[in-house]
Amino acid sequence: MCQYNLTHLATIKKLFSCYKYYTIIHLHFMKLIALSFLTILVIHSTAFAQAPKYSNEFLQIGVGARSLGMSGAQVASVNDVTSGYWNPAGLTGISNTPQLALMHAEYFAGIAKYDYGAFAKRIDSSSVLALSVVRFGVDNIPNTTELIDANGIIDYNRISSFSAADYAFIGSYARNLKVKGLSVGGSAKVVRRIIGKFANSWGFGIDAGLQYKRNQWQFGLTARDITTTFNAWNVTLDDKTKATFIATGNTIPTNSQEITLPRFLVGVARNIKLNKNFNLLAEINADITTDGKRNVVFKSNSLSLDPHAGVELNIYNLVYVRAGVGNITKQKDILQRTITTAQPNVGLGLKFRSICIDYAFTDIGNSSTAIYSNIFSLKFDINKARKKQA
């Protein structure tokens, strides 16, 4: 859903940037163009009250360049501050040192901004707390509802701007159990979605996860939105905007509700010690969605299964080379033959004392619908840095 919306936003933004060169266009046509973007943003966001598929899809993008370089194959092996997003049970892998993670990415030639921050701290010998924040938004969208004044004159000085942004605030808790190698965790999340002054929503949901480690094997399960995540939309259009909607034949959007159905992420990973200074981690995951048929490898009318896998080569605990494959879909070519496509990803990590800098290059070859992105993220062990400075 996010990619679909933002593709339209990119087109809309280009259209509005060219308005000043087309002042000879008929007045009524200009009114229709001026309001079309608002119809797309508000109605398209609220339409899923009847069909919950792809609701809150911005929370499925992923966080951390390490994870994205491995195509999101993290459920079984993740053991740092990013576990609050991928699998809260993995937070138990954090030592006594608090961790901070930050990430910024841009999509669609910089139109969409994606930001992530998280902090985690051990509270006793067996449990950890974490807080994560995610923002996905498009800023500086032209608001042309006031483009034409009361006399029917086009005035570009009347154009203002607004943002369409999605926020998630995630609080996580993890604990080691008495069974050796077994840990569990849970997350409570608040979702806030805003479309300028026109519409906004609040949403609430719960995630749960577990990890089990035995020898060189690691197993993981994350259940997202296990109670379904509920979003309530509030549309706040003024009377003038409503009147313009009616005059141009547009449906006035109303308050609505949408839900995000449960999604299950399962994974298995194995550490392979190549020699004293080289270690290979390999993991395969499967995302199981319950909102109907999707364009993935295995699908039915009620469930869909999307596999993805990644590897990481650890060199001297200093350099990490990563690769992964995901977004496997089946499509028709020009001859109507069914072909299978996949999205490869690569990444690199550098660790120096208390700092980890990770890089991921995603969507190589533009094999998915989005433009490829260069993503950087930072992970920081706070107490270790303080000790070094002291």
pLDDT above 90 (res 140) = no
Say which residue, 386 or 1, is predicted with more confidence. Answer: 386
Q: Decide: 261 and 290 in contact? Cβ < 8 Å.
A: yes
Please report where in the chains the tokens 């605030």 appear, as a residue.
Answer: 169
Helix, strand, coil proportions of the chain in percent (round to 5)? 20, 50, 30
pLDDT of 73 reads 95
Q: Does the domain spanning 2-389 belong to CATH 2.40.160.40?
A: yes
pLDDT of 220 reads 97
pLDDT of 31 reads 37
User: Given the DSSP bridges, would you call strands 127-143 and 112-122 parallel, antiparallel or unpaired?
Assistant: antiparallel
CB atoms closer than 10 angstroms to residue 160: 14
Query: What are the Cα distances from residue 165, in Å, to 45, 60, 104, 279?
Result: 12, 15, 15, 40
The model's confidence at residue 388, banded by pLDDT at 50, 70 and 90, is very low
Q: Decide: 2 and 61 in contact? Cβ < 8 Å.
A: yes
Q: Decide: 132 and 170 in contact? Cβ < 8 Å.
A: yes
Task: For the chain, give every domain's residue range.
Answer: 2-389
Residue 348 CB-density burial (10 A; 0-12 exposed, 13-18 middle, 19+ buried): middle
Average pLDDT rounded to a whole number, residues 327-337:
79
Phi, psi of 101 (to 5 degrees): -130, 140
User: What 8-state DSSP symbol labels residue 154?
Assistant: B
Name the nearest CA neighbour of 267 among 213, 335, 200: 213
Q: Which of 255-264, 272-281, 348-357 has the lowest mean pLDDT?
A: 255-264
Encoded tokens for 259? 């839900």
The model's confidence at residue 78, banded by pLDDT at 50, 70 and 90, is very high
AA letter at 154:
I
176-230 pLDDT per residue, tens: 999 999 999 999 999 999 988 889 999 999 999 999 999 999 999 999 999 888 8
149-168 pLDDT per residue, tens: 777 788 788 788 888 999 99
Q: Which of 145-159, 189-203, 275-289, 331-345 has the lowest mean pLDDT?
A: 145-159
Encoded tokens for 289? 């969605």
